[in-house]
Structure 1
């Protein structure tokens, strides 16, 4: 624990390395976790650094491996897959083999993967098209009927025998009617006839012209007294009345738009029929089911074909070549079924091969990545080095942990492949260079959560006290004071134990970041739960109900329905609050007073610890000027104000006020504090706590005034004189520049120092009041938590029980569980956690944290990077 209070000492070293030795040395140093290299090329663009092309090369390989990882996420490797399991020899070949061979292997496999994926996509697209083609053929086989030609012959006779007015109307729909009888069902014919009424005059004239031509041919045949033959009618049908079709499939939601667009694009000379495919078709490309519709566009003449095809293809429609006769369509359907059967076998074999190949890749991803990461980290580190003036050595500087310095020297000597003077180590004086030592604090697992909370606010500098060990105690305790209930503490403890139980599953799973926070903070949650149980027993509350562990010192008065009498003058409840207080009419007044005074005492305790840390830091840094003119006056002001108030609180608790005449109800402390501030410590006889109280209060008031004068006026004046003296000595050359912060007399003045110190002094004095008020949140949140818990218990448990309705009791219990978990445990628990964090960050840390932040120590290590990557705990990885 002593190492946890202070950071480990560091040494700044310089390495002079022959270029041919640098690579192997960095590979060996990456195992130690002992050195943090400085960037000697700071400000230099990456593109101008010596090994940037190598870094880019391995960046590219990393992207390839991440692609392998993304496509193998769903693949699981079982122990039965012996042929796929990676042998030790193969792992060793990857980890120690040539990086060029590994690169060639990765690029070969990425090409192979791309080919397999493209082939798979093509097979899936072909399957999708054949399925749609099959549905198209099935529907058209049912809907499109081939009629006898005699029906067409009767329709032509109908045209030849009708009158001129009737002829124009009939001929406007003759082609549509004929084709509808030949190609479509009767429902489509009705649609076609309804659409023919909306045709334009130009279209009607064209249709009438066709009718007149047809009528003229028939009359010409009659003149020669020859009966028209079947071939004659067929010629007329093929020349004037035959319809062509364009068919395929579209998305169901596009049918309305495509119908309107075809109608407008063909000026009403085409008719569309739709038939929905009832079962949705799975699209393997989009990996989703799609609702499709078969469409048929009827048109006459060949000039509309290209226009209709472009229209339907603009809606991503699949257009199929359907045969004209029923027999040919049936043969097409059989061919499609055979192709689907063959394609199904091909896809199955492709999937088996793809799965085997992905297993092969998955086993090699981590070894590949580890090797690539080592290479990339090595060259990235080499980019931090510079060259000496003769270009013979590469120069490196870094911070080494003092405990690892001997081992570091040993590793350097073992990797001196060339011989003498290939690697030279020099110890540098960081103070002469004006550098700050980085901070390295070695933490156990249960300390990491609290240490991360400290690091989020500030990084302790070297030889400064680390407040995290103190927070290990104060953080759970302050949380428990606000979350003061035995029942809720037990639930929180059980939740922490659940996190410990399932931690092994968490390590091998990929959870959401919020769940990861709970698992990482499981030790802190456990201590918060146990502390809440302790404070809940002290306050004697379990789900807002009192607990009768021992016999109460109070009993109801037989002469009154509300009064209680004490069993004896010396009766004291053994531990915590007497449970009978919960049944008294003034229980809220008692608990408010008790919890509020406790909160102020706890606050004084933590603020005092903060000033003690500041004192120890000043002693270790030998800043005695700040110690005597800043820290000690703050101590005196704190104990003359808040400290005196806490003394009066404890004194009032220890005195039996019933034996003091005129003061049977006790003295209000707030009155005494007001007299201290506004009446210069004067105390009335009826408000006197103890003898000579007025003298003591005047002494305290004098101490406060003297300390404020020292902090506000004397400290900036003496600091100004000291800086002027140092400036003169520096000008005479008697002190070094690094020991003096100001090198220009114009860079500071007494006014600047006075204004800055005035702000700090006023902030501290007002902070005494604000800190006292801020710590009352310990009382406020405890009261709100207790009141909410009591309301839920009374309204959802006790009230339904008083009505003797079983169903209402069950519903009340369910609601009580819901509100307990989501309101009291989650909402109130989060609120208590945030307020506890605020008390430490603002009230506690502000007493010893200055403006200068430390530098966290990040050693160069392959091992830490591997743990972050694989989300697993590894032993040291040997190359």
Structure 2
């Protein structure tokens, strides 16, 4: 029986299907989505398979539907979405579907062709109308006379600028050409090409062409895509048929359209009247054709998505049938598939339904086959809550078959470690509310089928973000950090030990250089030990202290080490579940136990020291583990102590020596002043001692037999390394030499036999041993990112508060009231964009790293194959762009 902790048990099945019922049976299995079919025709290409023609027909229908959808989109018509379940169509309906789609496509193709022709003709009529309207202004006698003189000058080699008039020295008698010898061409060209067109004409024809243009006030393309393009009418005067050919080519090159225009005004007026009537008629025909096309598209938009799903299911079924082999009688199809053991009955029931729906009386036969040399896929039964966390794990690697799944623990550890780095209750509330809104409107958002990739990324991780925000509120309250400020709910455990008279005397401008009075709160007097620590989280007094980072950084740093080593230790413990599941005693005794010894004897020992130091040591003198502790100046240095442990460096026992009780006659004030060599337990004069402090007292042994204990721990950790390195490879070689089955532990190789090579096994084990030993050190350091990112987020939050929101809060009068709302909006925008999105993404990625590398590497192989059943729901989501 499977669970979220281990993948489901899988069965490898062989199914015998009647040819006439195979389609419907596969359709039922597609609706169920619990069978992953194996391709039994891998040696065949796609053209050699039995149902290749049916697949091609489906692809052709898809092409036609894409064309129809393109036309619907082009007309800005919204396709009506389907609500009800759409069953897979029967194969006998394919002919009808093909005919309907082909008819609709042909109808749209013909309509588009007609519209294209009609629009082209309409543009030509509009341009001809504009030419006839404007050419009367260009064909007057004065223009023709200027053209004749310009061309005459060009023939004498005196060509000047285009459209030049007669020079004063020229007279009518000196004109070399008569107006009646001139010919002209009219046409239309886009405004942005007019200047280049005129220059090109003048240069190519050497000034022997006289050009005049005039703008068209209204657009000529009323129905096309280029409605805003303005054009101009041009008229070109020239002499000789050779120039006509050259001018035609130049006009064609510039995309200009030429039109034959009558020279006489009466003919032009008559033609203009006819063209105006044709324009109106053409406009009516275009509008009616467009209305007809719109009706066809509106009708298609109602069913287009339904047709898409029908063809998609049809194609996917035939594609799956191509995986099946055919017996020699051509009457049976043989399928092989993976099915979850717990769902075997559901698959059998689906086959039975498919058989009855096809009208066949022969129930398919499903046999369970031997899984030898076959590697089962990994399948977890998930819901919408656990799916997001499983995706985080699967992004690293798919769990091997029946391997322990990290996802159940990731549900809590991932958002918690994120929150340790994020650590702001105010920003956590914003993140929590954003995720809660996605959960509240979940059904509406799913129904909307939003295809934006970024939105779908956030939406698929809505439950992850929800817990991330919730834990961020929790850790923010632990840090007592809300937008870089603290709240005082239970009352601080610190008090001001100075009386008001002394404070008044100290608050003298002559005694302070900065105008501010800095006070030191000695823990002996300012901390109310009887009251106890702040009940929940960090005491709010630290938010006011200038040395708050000196307090918060060591606290967060040590907390990061505790959390990191705890998670790594838990990961090693989980590896025991994998070894015990496989029944591998050699892994349990010579891999797991040495790993526990190495990790525990060094790193867990360090964690115990951290906790003991927090609990036991204090600023006041006391007896600790039978040794006199003089005060905080002798607090043990754990880092140097760990280094001394590896160096096996000799250290003195205790913090002081020559401890002698003080006589009862010694006054209490003598020790209370902190005289070197004298201390009292809890300020009790009857419990005072004289002593001599060791040099570097914080580096000495602080509990009995510490040197011996650490030497034993170090020896055990050192011996664990060769045990992990050597025992398992030699044990595998011993089993191989006796012909016993072996598991090389290199992951699956597609069901192939694993060849034994002692050198490869030795190298593989050496890599894992070195990786574990060095990883314990580097991974512990890596967990310090929990402290580093928390510090960075807190500092950025403080900068944002002081540089933005704090400015209007310090303003007085009406100015502060007016400015505050605008600055608050800017503060929220910067907080969301920088501290929540950017910093949140950074903390998210670091949390991923901590889980993938530091945690999962201790027990998780991730070399499995995902279970990919034939499922219509998954196929449709991928088709609609909602999944990958």
What TM-score, normalized by structure 2, do the two folds share? 0.82
Deviates more, 1:316-325 or 1:780-789: 316-325
Alpha-carbon contact 2:479-2:537 (below 8 Å) kept: yes
Q: How does 1:198-597 map to 2 (within 5 A)?
A: 211=176, 237-238=179-180, 242-277=181-216, 284-287=223-226, 289-388=228-327, 393-413=332-352, 415=355, 423-431=364-372, 434-503=373-442, 504-505=444-445, 507-558=447-498, 559=502, 561-564=518-521, 565-597=526-558
Asked whether 1:631 is paired with 2:588, we answer no
Q: Which has a greater percent of helix?
A: 1
Name the CA shift for 1:171/1:782 in 2 (closer, same or farther; >3 Å). Answer: closer
**Other structure's SS at 1:349 match:** helix
Deviation at residue 484 of structure 1 after TM alignment:
0.8
Question: Which of residues 164, 171, 196 in structure 2 aligns to 1:191?
Answer: 164
2:27 corresponds in structure 1 to 27
Alpha-carbon contact 1:477-1:528 (below 8 Å) kept: yes
1:181 corresponds in structure 2 to none
Offset from partner CA, 1:121-167 (integer Å, 9 cap, x none): 2222233333333333333344543569xx97xx99xx9xxxxxxxx
**Other structure's SS at 1:5 match:** coil
1:864 corresponds in structure 2 to 874
Offset from partner CA, 1:312-353 (integer Å, 9 cap, x none): 111111212222233433444433332232222222222221
Name the CA shift for 1:680/1:119 in 2 (closer, same or farther; >3 Å). Answer: farther
Deviation at residue 455 of structure 1 after TM alignment:
1.3
Name the CA shift for 1:447/1:767 in 2 (closer, same or farther; >3 Å). Answer: same
Structure 2 distance, partners of 1:599, 1:440, is: 34
Offset from partner CA, 1:528-551 (integer Å, 9 cap, x none): 111111111111111101112221
1:849 corresponds in structure 2 to 860
Name the CA shift for 1:668/1:131 in 2 (closer, same or farther; >3 Å). Answer: farther
1:659 corresponds in structure 2 to 621
Name the CA shift for 1:728/1:476 in 2 (closer, same or farther; >3 Å). Answer: closer
Structure 2 distance, partners of 1:449, 1:196, is: 92
2:45 corresponds in structure 1 to 45
What TM-score, normalized by structure 1, do the two folds share? 0.83
Name the CA shift for 1:78/1:821 in 2 (closer, same or farther; >3 Å). Answer: closer
Alpha-carbon contact 1:676-1:682 (below 8 Å) kept: no
Name the CA shift for 1:408/1:594 in 2 (closer, same or farther; >3 Å). Answer: same
The alignment of Structure 1 onto Structure 2 pairs a total of residues equal to: 796
1:725 corresponds in structure 2 to 738
1:827 corresponds in structure 2 to 838
Offset from partner CA, 1:243-296 (integer Å, 9 cap, x none): 222122222222233223222332221022223345666575445622323222
Question: Which of residues 772, 790, 809 in structure 1 aligns to 2:780?
Answer: 772
Offset from partner CA, 1:759-794 (integer Å, 9 cap, x none): 221111110111111111010001001001101111
Alpha-carbon contact 1:581-1:587 (below 8 Å) kept: yes
**Other structure's SS at 1:533 match:** helix
RMSD, matched Cα: 3.8
1:798 corresponds in structure 2 to 806
Asked whether 1:691 is paired with 2:719, we answer no
Structure 1 distance, partners of 2:290, 2:441, is: 36
Structure 1 distance, partners of 2:311, 2:300, is: 15
Q: How does 1:54-203 map to 2 (within 5 A)?
A: 54-73=54-73, 76=77, 98-145=93-140, 172=153, 191-192=164-165
Deviation at residue 653 of structure 1 after TM alignment:
0.9
Name the CA shift for 1:421/1:114 in 2 (closer, same or farther; >3 Å). Answer: closer
Deviation at residue 22 of structure 1 after TM alignment:
2.6
Name the CA shift for 1:591/1:797 in 2 (closer, same or farther; >3 Å). Answer: same
Alpha-carbon contact 2:86-2:310 (below 8 Å) kept: no
Structure 2 distance, partners of 1:389, 1:196, is: 105
Alpha-carbon contact 2:150-2:164 (below 8 Å) kept: no
Alpha-carbon contact 2:10-2:341 (below 8 Å) kept: yes
**Other structure's SS at 2:234 match:** strand
Deviation at residue 193 of structure 1 after TM alignment:
5.1
Alpha-carbon contact 2:79-2:301 (below 8 Å) kept: no
Structure 2 distance, partners of 1:196, 1:25, is: 100
Asked whether 1:748 is paired with 2:757, we answer yes
Alpha-carbon contact 1:680-1:698 (below 8 Å) kept: no
Structure 1 distance, partners of 2:819, 2:113, is: 63
